[in-house]
Amino acid sequence: MEIATPPTLRTLLGNGDLRLSLVSAERSLADGALDRPVRGVHSSDLVDPTPFLADDLVLMTTGSQFADHDERGVGDYVARLVHRGVRALGFGSGVHRVGPPDELVAACAASGLALFDVPYDIPFLAVARAHAEAMASHAYARRTWALEVQRALAVAALRPRGLEATLAELARRLGCWVGLFDSSGTIAQEHPASLAGGADAVADAVAELLGRGTTATRSLEEGERTVTLYTLGRSSQLKGVIAVDLRPIDAEARAVITTVIAMAGLALEQSEQLARGRRRMHTQLLASLRADDPTLARRTLGALPPAPMVVATAADAPVEAIVGWFERQRAVGGTVSFVAEDADGLTICLGASSRALLDQVAGRFGIRIGVSEPAEYSAFSHAHAQATTALQRSGGDGVIEYHDVESGGVLDALVSAETRTLARTRLAPLRAHDATTGAELERTLRVWLEQDARAEQTAASLGIHRHTLRSRIAQAAVLLGTDLTSFPARAELWATLRAAG
């Protein structure tokens, strides 16, 4: 983090004007106590000053309270200071004695409390003033840093990819990992490239936070790391979560992060509005393309996927997520695509050479996609019809090509849920007549029509006498209420059997 270091005991001891000298600090050095922030400097000769002390202070004393205390009493005094959170003890040398007593040196060494000597000609007030000046200098440096960072963030927000640039600048200025999760809990951006360890726990916490649907902040402890999560947007309309891997977060850093949260929330809100406008425009451009006229789309978008292209249609597709996915493909690999939604569903147009991306989309989002044969834009409507036909004929998830279904012929292409229902209704009297007889009659009709209504060949295929065949045909005609002596009636029956399945 590009900021000044908070004043510490080492800062105080390093002030040459004070001439302070460590007496006992072996354990303190090992524990890093000299580099922990010091909140203030206080002086007292009370036997128990702890009720009047705050955490993280440096206490100074002249040692008058030790006159009538033995070694045990001095040890208890030091233990009370350590328990209260005192950072170090300064001994004013020369007031009652020169240098701290041996009992105090031993007790501080045993407890890990740093002990330093204050020369006789250095007033305690000078030590306190020196620390106060260091605190003021640090506070000024932090405020200056925060203002500089906020200016840098404002400049970053004006770049072409403003939100991404802003988060990258925040990560650089804080010197930590920063991640942006979208409203689905998926990581959308992260700076640097990845969070080293604990990524799954962070993702789970983000999902839980978004599931609540209310604005909130949460800190996640992962070993030595603390990841703080901040929701974006208003309650019940959360746009995502920003995660910051930083500890500690002081007032200035929190102010900077709060600024980014406000900027990110606004940017995401504007992005949604732009996305809605772009989707409406693409819907209108799709209508133009389906009229086999790409002129308007080219003028509006500047570029369309290269011809020959393929058209794909999808069912029950998450439009926003798929649009975002293709936008990332364009940013990373330069793949030009056109995605639009209308009353018939989602339409995707890609250059034929990029056809493999559709398999990735189907697998990633678990959807069905029908794909046309390669075509020019002058035949866009025909390609769209092919993709729709392939989609309607497909079962389950995945991609189905039009050329894989066209072999079924015109009759199969005409089959839909409506025609299938109608066909089954027409065959209901036959199928409801008798479970065994009805199935036998239906099979007889199928074989008879496949044999072009020729009795000899049909009887031989079924292994029955031709008189039995004629009897079955007549019975089926009565049940269906139709005359099967004419070709139109037989053709309609054949189509009905095919559609019913």
Average pLDDT for residues 118-124, to the nearest whole number?
94
Average pLDDT for residues 102-107, to the nearest whole number?
90
- Kindly state the tokens that stand for 315: 């069912």
Q: pLDDT tens digit string along 463-488?
A: 888 888 888 888 888 888 888 888 88
Hey, how many other C-beta atoms are within 10 angstroms of the C-beta on 378?
A: 11
- According to CATH, the topology of domain 9-133 is 3.40.1390
- Which residue type, as a one-letter code, is found at position 93? S
Percentage, residues of the chain above pLDDT 90:
27
Phi and psi torsions of 179, nearest 5°: -125, 145
Full 3-state SS string of 32-56: CHHHCECCEEEECCCCCCHHHCCCC
* CA atoms of 348 and 338, how far apart (whole Å): 6
**Domain 417-500 top-level CATH class:** mainly alpha
Pick the most confident of 44-58, 308-322, 459-473. 44-58
Hey, how many other C-beta atoms are within 10 angstroms of the C-beta on 301?
A: 14
Answer whether 245's CB lies under 8 Å from 225's CB: yes
**pLDDT value at residue 1:** 45
Judged by phi (left if over 0) then psi (alpha if -120 to 50, else beta), residue 429 lies in alpha
Question: Residue 215 to residues 74, 235, 433: CA-CA distances in angstroms?
Answer: 52, 5, 65
**pLDDT value at residue 28:** 61
290-408 is classed CATH 3.40.50: no
∠ Cα 182 185 188 (to 5°): 45
**pLDDT value at residue 45:** 92
Q: Is the peptide bond before 6 cis (omega within 30 degrees of 0)?
A: no
Percentage, residues of the chain above pLDDT 70:
92
Strands, sheet with 225-234, edge to edge from the N-terminal-most edge strand: 187-191, 177-182, 237-245, 225-234, 217-222
- Span 159-270: which CATH code? 3.30.450.30
Residue with the two structure tokens 């309650």: 235
Kindly report, as residue ranges, where domains of CATH 1.10.10 are found in the chain: 417-500
CA 110 to chain CA centroid, nearest Å: 51
Residue with the two structure tokens 């054949």: 494
Average pLDDT for residues 411-419, to the nearest whole number?
63
Question: Residue 425 to residues 414, 415, 440, 449: CA-CA distances in angstroms?
Answer: 17, 14, 18, 20
pLDDT of 501 strictly over 80: no
pTM for the full predicted model: 0.54
Which spans in 48-189 are helix H?
71-84, 102-111, 124-157, 162-174
pLDDT of 73 strictly over 90: no
Hey, how many other C-beta atoms are within 10 angstroms of the C-beta on 216?
A: 14
Which spans in 158-294 are helix H?
162-174, 199-212, 251-289
Phi and psi torsions of 85, nearest 5°: 95, 20
Rounded mean pLDDT of the chain?
85
* CA atoms of 469 and 483, how far apart (whole Å): 16
386: buried, middle or exposed (CB in 10 Å: 19+, 13-18, 0-12)? buried
Kindly report, as residue ranges, where domains of CATH 3.30.450.30 are found in the chain: 159-270
Checking DSSP bridges between strand 88-92 and strand 57-61, what pairing results, if any? parallel
Answer whether 62's CB lies under 8 Å from 96's CB: yes
Kindly report, as residue ranges, where domains of CATH 3.30.70 are found in the chain: 290-408
Q: pLDDT tens digit string along 201-233?
A: 888 888 888 888 888 888 888 767 888 999 888
pLDDT of 177 strictly over 80: yes
Q: pLDDT tens digit string along 231-279?
A: 888 887 788 899 999 888 888 889 999 989 888 888 777 777 777 788 8
SS3 346: strand
**pLDDT value at residue 2:** 46
Q: Which of 55, 101, 106, 105 is nearest to 81 (CA)?
A: 55
* CA atoms of 285 and 295, how far apart (whole Å): 10
Which spans in 175-250 are helix H?
199-212
Among 15-29, 50-64, 274-288, 403-417, the minimum mean pLDDT is found in 403-417
Q: Return all residues near 153 (Cβ < 8 A) that are at least 6 apart.
A: 166, 169, 170, 173, 256, 259, 260, 263
Average pLDDT for residues 397-419, to the nearest whole number?
68
DSSP class per residue in 385-414 = HHHHHHHHH--SSEEEEHHHHGGGHHHHHH
**pLDDT value at residue 123:** 94
DSSP class of residue 219 equals E
Hey, how many other C-beta atoms are within 10 angstroms of the C-beta on 344?
A: 12
- What pLDDT band is residue 413 in, cutting at 50, 70 and 90? low
* CA atoms of 392 and 181, how far apart (whole Å): 35
Length of the chain, in residues: 501
**pLDDT value at residue 351:** 92
Hey, how many other C-beta atoms are within 10 angstroms of the C-beta on 473?
A: 19
SS3 100: coil
Checking DSSP bridges between strand 187-191 and strand 177-182, what pairing results, if any? antiparallel
Residue with the two structure tokens 């306190």: 128
